[in-house]
Structure 1
Amino acid sequence: MRRILTCLLLTLALPASAQIYKYTDASGNTVFTDQPPEGQAAQSIELPTTNTVEMSAPSAPTSDSREAEQTAPYGTLQLTDLPSDEALRANNGTFSVSVNLEPRLATGHRLRLLLDGQPYGQPSNVPRLQLTNIDRGEHSLAVEVLSGDESIQRSAAVTFTVQRVNTGSPALRPPPPPPKPKPAT
């Protein structure tokens, strides 16, 4: 099948390599044609050979070209709005963080949080991301840029501590109401 198709294409290309003739008509216009005119003196035009390019086989990428492909598309990618020296106070474990990103997020790219090294929440194109019901204690948080399902860049991880106040603690309970006076009998 492939040979038949190749022969057909070569047959169609033959007229493209036909002879070209040049002559001047009765009105003085220069005419180029592939048919020699009858009763006219025509000059045969020799065309230069066409340019051809040999197709080379693709080579395996070198480590340098792989590194160039993996360069970060974003000059700045970092989380903000997290305390660095003190605990993050979130009684219900819900808080939000911002992503500082330059240049702006490209079309088709999305942001996803990594909480303690694991993907957290759905990818989003909004640079303000919310975390819900996070346990108290120390955590690490990073953000990654996704293109489809592939991670193309990741920020440095930020370590922080979530402080949640236990409202069931006896120290936080309101004082009991004073006892009612006993009725006099």
Structure 2
Amino acid sequence: MRILILLLLPLVVQPLHARDVYKWITPEGEVVYSENYQPGADTIRVQDSKKKTSLKVDELDKEADAAATGDYLQFDIVQPSNDETIRSDENSVSVGLSISPPLFDGHAIHLYVDGKKLDSEIKTTQLVLQQLSRGTHTIRAEIVDAEGEMVKQSGSTTFHLRQAAVN
């Protein structure tokens, strides 16, 4: 475990502009890496990383701010895609929603199929619509608060349900 830590340590503390890392073996047989030269150490050339990584701090801040104020940054129907043709012998369609930040306590989702609200409130972002008739359908969704007031509405998505196979 110590060797693994010693191997990873230079990667963590080494500045990106550093070019040389030195490697040597102690009398106890441990492999040591360092950016400081030691007599008898092997020199290892390290290339500068061209890839810049960054945490999406702005996005995390926006999501935290949205959660604090009770606002949703994003609410979309991601499945099915708009104008998609779905082939199903069971006449069922999977629906996927994307919500950011996640659904707040006391909030629920109302799903509308062809303008008619489903009977049940939804608390999940994945569901399956069953017993749909073949043809073209439009779905949309709303997030409602504990009083049933709309907080956020998705756009509408149209899809086409067709028979899977003709025998």
With the length of structure 2 as denominator, give the TM-score of the two structures.
0.53
Task: Say if 1:94 and 1:121 are closer, same or farther in 2 by CA, change over 3 A.
Answer: farther
Task: Say if 1:73 and 1:89 are closer, same or farther in 2 by CA, change over 3 A.
Answer: same
Residue 163 (structure 1) aligned with residue 162 (structure 2): yes
Q: What is the total number of aligned residue pairs between the two structures? A: 98
Q: Secondary structure at the match of 2:102?
A: coil
- Give yes or no for contact 1:94–1:132 (8 Å, CA) kept in 2: yes
Which residue of the partner structure matches residue 79 of structure 1?
77
Which amino acid is the alignment partner of residue 134 of structure 1?
L
Which amino acid is the alignment partner of residue 89 of structure 1?
R
Q: How far apart, in 2, do the equivalents of 1:82 and 1:121 lie?
A: 21
Which residue of the partner structure matches residue 124 of structure 1?
122
> Between the two proteins, what is the percent identity of the paired residues?
24
Q: How far apart, in 2, do the equivalents of 1:131 and 1:82 lie?
A: 11
Task: Say if 1:114 and 1:89 are closer, same or farther in 2 by CA, change over 3 A.
Answer: same
Q: How far apart, in 2, do the equivalents of 1:112 and 1:89 lie?
A: 25
With the length of structure 1 as denominator, give the TM-score of the two structures.
0.48
Which residue of the partner structure matches residue 21 of structure 1?
none
Which amino acid is the alignment partner of residue 93 of structure 2?
F
Q: How far apart, in 1, do the equivalents of 2:128 and 2:85 lie?
A: 17
1:97 Cα offset (Å): 1.1
Larger radius of gyration: 1
Question: Quick one: higher RCO (CA 8 Å, sep 6+), 1 or 2?
Answer: 2
Q: How far apart, in 2, do the equivalents of 1:93 and 1:78 lie?
A: 23
Q: Which runs of 5+ in 1 are unaligned?
A: 1-70, 173-185
